[in-house]
A and B are shown apart, each in its own frame.
Chain A
Amino acid sequence: MSIDTAPSATALDATSSAATRRDILHRLLMTLGPILAALVIAGCILLAVGVDPLAYYGYVLEKGLFSPLGIQQTLTRMAPLLFLAAGLIVAFRAGMWNLGGDGQFLLGAVTAAASAPVLVEIMPAWLALICSFLIAMVVAMVWSLVPALLRAYQGVNEIITTLMMTFLGTSFANVLVKLVFRDPGTTVPQTRTLPVEDRLPRLFDTTITSGLLLGLATIIIVHLVMTRTAFGLKLRIVGANPRAAVHAGLGVPGLTIAVFAISAGLAGLAGAVDIIGVQGNVRADWNPAYGLAVIPAVFLARMNGFAAIGFVFLLSMLSIGGESAARRLGVPNHFTLVLVSIVLIVLALAEYVDHRYNQSRKA
């Protein structure tokens, strides 16, 4: 709509829909272009180590997307990643860098793994699973309390504190598995295993976990809360301009603690959904490091929930496909990470060039 009093204002109405379309096209180009460029660059690296890039990408697509088993694995892997992405969207939109996702994830996973097998014996399975989810969420929230309080009342940089807490969290989760929740019935240190029939149901006749639906629902709800509600707007004000938040009378410390609690709680749920839906138990020293892997996907999606679903799918496919492609072609397993980081670097460069171009056009 246009309410400018300048004569050119009426013209704006007619062109605005064309402008939005151009804007979306531009966004799409700015996202997909760098990804393609990154694939080419990564291909060159593969060539340099003597691997046929086309074969590699072919395997990734086949194993991650086109084979029935692959796509089911990809979709199953998405469930915890979606919860983590939802948590990061809340934190990043509020301008807080919760990089402690892995510690929160593992503590959630371990407490869910410890509580679920016990609870299913004393109450209905559905209630037991809900209780395990809640326990995992609360434990992860408590774990985020130290960085949250330090940031809210002392202004201590949360990047450092959450990273420190994530190291402590992963080690603590290990200690819990080995010393407290260890299953006496096995020789390898791991928690008691949740029977398959008590886990989250699978979808139809596939191996896809119904945790995927929970993840999708969660990230969409988080997106709507952040964009459509007063609470979300308050968080975004804190993130975009903390001084404006103080000026507008928002309770910044309280909101800060809420952000950390929600973000960490969702990370804890991610751990629970992975255990209760898929793994069934936690082995000692298990750390999939999903928390850090999801960060680039959330950035690429610009903290938009719907776009994040797409990028989480891409990430999930790359990691599932990349694992088998790596095995087949003798590429290190971590090449997926190399690929993702090249995408990020190219994307940042594209952003920079675009910004410079806009600046020079304005001048």
Chain B
Amino acid sequence: MSSHSSPPADISDIVALEGVTKRFPGIIANDSINLSIRPGEVHVLLGENGAGKSTLIGMLSGLQQPDEGRILVDGKPTPITSPRHALALGIGTVFQHMMLVPTLTVAENLLLGGSWWQRPRTEELEARVAEITSSLGITVKLHAKVSELSLGEQQQVEIVRAMVRNSRLLILDESTSMLTPKGIEELGALMRRLVGQGLAIVFITHKLKEAAAFGDRISVLKLGRKVGEIPPERFRALDEQEIISEIVELMFGKQKDDPEAAERPIRTVRTEAAPLLQVADLAVAATDNAPGLSSISFDIRPGEILGIAGIDGNGQKQLAEALAGQRTATGGSVRLEGAPIEGLSVGERRQRGLRYLTDDRLGEGTVGTFPVSINFFLKQVGAAPFWRGGVEQRAEIDRRAAELVREYDVRTPSLKTPVARLSGGNIQKVLLARELAEGAKVVIFNKPTYGLDLANTMASRQRIRDTAARGLAVLLISTDLEELLSMCDRIAVIANGALVGTVANADDARTRVGRLMIGLAA
């Protein structure tokens, strides 16, 4: 641990970020972020998935290095070179997913990371843990196996572990996402006691109520940029409702200089036309790591764009997969042009004209090591004219692939280039070409602009608008409210796997959708 002697009364920053920028291929994950982290404060980082929170934490905990800007520790510019270095500087991180060994006892977990040539100092640890836990008013069962503890208890162990290692700054990454309401309350109280002892806490969440309840200072991230901060003085002056509405304004409000902001579409949907896609009471069972769906119902007419808004992880992916046939539904009906398709396979649904453009472009959308040309036809393997009698017709594939490359402006060195070498925007164009090519009737777009730069974002959105203009039905799932407002005819809000309301995209849609998203009535 480095020497530090700033008295608690002095509110100088423990850690400060100055103009920190981090780029990944095709994405600016963090765009000149300034942040000050002070002892005795819970600094809440709020933002959607993809807003850049995880990257920021990665840089603070030494997993990643900033491309530009610098990190100051105790006022001195300090590159944090590794997680070990971060720990030595007093920065402890409790990650979203538990990092304890379930088969070991709590004490053994706490002793991990000691020198291998020394016997574990169990007595020393017990004394230290007793000191920490008694001052915080919690109990930790040192000799229980981690697998026997509840998630809330495991989290306390992780916090105690950070304290044992003399952390001055504790980063809690989405720590409440797996806790029960009671566990969340306990964690909140624990955070207050920790900052009471002069610790600094960075608390990452996307739940506004927690931010308002537990924070001292709130920074809001959006698409890699810091779009606003509520300092402690202002925070204390507002009540919970005022804080929440201010955050909603920061998160979902229109920025003056936002180049993405576009005027609401003026498109006429023929309301008398029969719906292309009808979904009634669709239900999907919950799994270990994903929420289920319950009674999802909506219709989409030809030429209409229906938006699905919501905080990420509320069942959007499950909805898309259930419609595409990748996930088995436990109930309800899906009709395409009036014909039921809920019993059909993925391939048969595609055959009928249902297309699903996944948000996981490299994970499931493409085979990264395969050439661009093959990736265009991944969902048509074996179909004429690209395969005849099961034999690949390379000339035919290359000819059609070259056409698609031109038509969709895919920037690739050659058709043989492995698709993973392309930028995110160009991979997305490959997927767009694959899904929108002949025969599409209903297209599901899942976060179509997620992680794309501005030019590709605009291009993708234009494709989607054109798709609807051709008379197709479009389901647009997005966590970017701006995007939905600029494109949709109607916006439905999903929360905990259910549609909580549908709003026509009229003038007051922004506030009404925003209120639905945070669990208030529209």
Binding site for B on A (CB under 8 A): 1-6, 9, 12, 16, 228-231, 233-234, 236-237, 240-241, 243-244, 246-251
Return chain A residues, CB-CB under 8 Å to B405.
Answer: 3
* B325 is an interface residue with CB less than 8 A from chain A: yes
Across the two chains, which residue of chain B brings its CB closest to A240? B367
In the complex with contacts A3-B412, A233-B381, A249-B346, A244-B402 CB distance below 8 A = no
Q: Distance (Å) between the CB of A90 and the closest chain B CB?
A: 16
How many angstroms between the C-alpha atoms of A183 and B479 in the bound complex?
74
Chain B residues numbered 6-48 whose CB sits less than 8 Å from any CB in chain A: none
7 tightest Cβ-Cβ pairs between the two chains A and B: A249-B346, A230-B382, A249-B347, A243-B364, A247-B364, A230-B387, A241-B367
Chain B residues numbered 136-172 whose CB sits less than 8 Å from any CB in chain A: none
Q: Distance (Å) between the CB of B254 and the closest chain A CB?
A: 34
How many angstroms between the C-alpha atoms of A2 and B413 in the bound complex?
6
Task: Say whether A244 contacts B378, CB under 8 Å.
Answer: yes
Q: Distance (Å) between the CB of B325 and the closest chain A CB?
A: 7
Mask, B352-394, CB within 8 Å of A = 1, is: 0000101010011111111000100011011000010011100
Q: Distance (Å) between the CB of B202 and the closest chain A CB?
A: 30
Return chain A residues, CB-CB under 8 Å to B345.
Answer: 249, 251
How many angstroms between the C-alpha atoms of A244 and B368 in the bound complex?
10
**Cβ-defined partner of B378 (8 Å) among A3, A237, A251:** A237
Across the two chains, which residue of chain A brings its CB closest to B347? A249
How many angstroms between the C-alpha atoms of A3 and B404 in the bound complex?
11
In the complex with contacts A1-B415, A241-B367, A244-B378, A233-B346 CB distance below 8 A = no
**Cβ-defined partner of B392 (8 Å) among A3, A6, A228, A251:** A228
Known A-B contacts: A231-B382, A240-B369, A244-B364. Give 8 more (CB < 8 A). Answer: A2-B414, A12-B414, A237-B381, A241-B364, A247-B358, A249-B325, A249-B347, A250-B347
* B209 is an interface residue with CB less than 8 A from chain A: no
* B337 is an interface residue with CB less than 8 A from chain A: no
Across the two chains, which residue of chain A brings its CB closest to B349? A249
**18 contacting pairs across A/B (C-beta < 8 A):** A1-B402, A1-B416, A3-B415, A4-B411, A12-B414, A229-B387, A230-B381, A233-B374, A234-B381, A237-B367, A240-B369, A241-B364, A244-B367, A244-B378, A246-B326, A246-B346, A249-B349, A249-B350
Across the two chains, which residue of chain A brings its CB closest to B368? A241
How many angstroms between the C-alpha atoms of A234 and B349 in the bound complex?
19
Return chain A residues, CB-CB under 8 Å to B391.
Answer: 228-230
* B406 is an interface residue with CB less than 8 A from chain A: yes
* B186 is an interface residue with CB less than 8 A from chain A: no
Task: Say whether B412 contacts A4, CB under 8 Å.
Answer: yes
* B398 is an interface residue with CB less than 8 A from chain A: yes
- Residue from B349, B398, B409, B412 whose CB has the most chain A CB atoms within 10 Å: B412
Return chain B residues, CB-CB under 8 Å to A230.
Answer: 381-382, 387, 390-392
Return chain A residues, CB-CB under 8 Å to B358.
Answer: 247
How many angstroms between the C-alpha atoms of A11 and B470 in the bound complex?
38
Across the two chains, which residue of chain A brings its CB closest to B327? A246
How many angstroms between the C-alpha atoms of A234 and B346 in the bound complex?
15
Return chain A residues, CB-CB under 8 Å to B356.
Answer: 247
Return chain B residues, CB-CB under 8 Å to A5.
Answer: 409, 411
Across the two chains, which residue of chain B brings its CB closest to A230? B382
How many angstroms between the C-alpha atoms of A233 and B378 in the bound complex?
9
Across the two chains, which residue of chain B brings its CB closest to A243? B364
How many angstroms between the C-alpha atoms of A250 and B325 in the bound complex?
12
In the complex with contacts A233-B381, A249-B346, A250-B381, A16-B414 CB distance below 8 A = yes
Q: Distance (Å) between the CB of B84 and the closest chain A CB?
A: 22
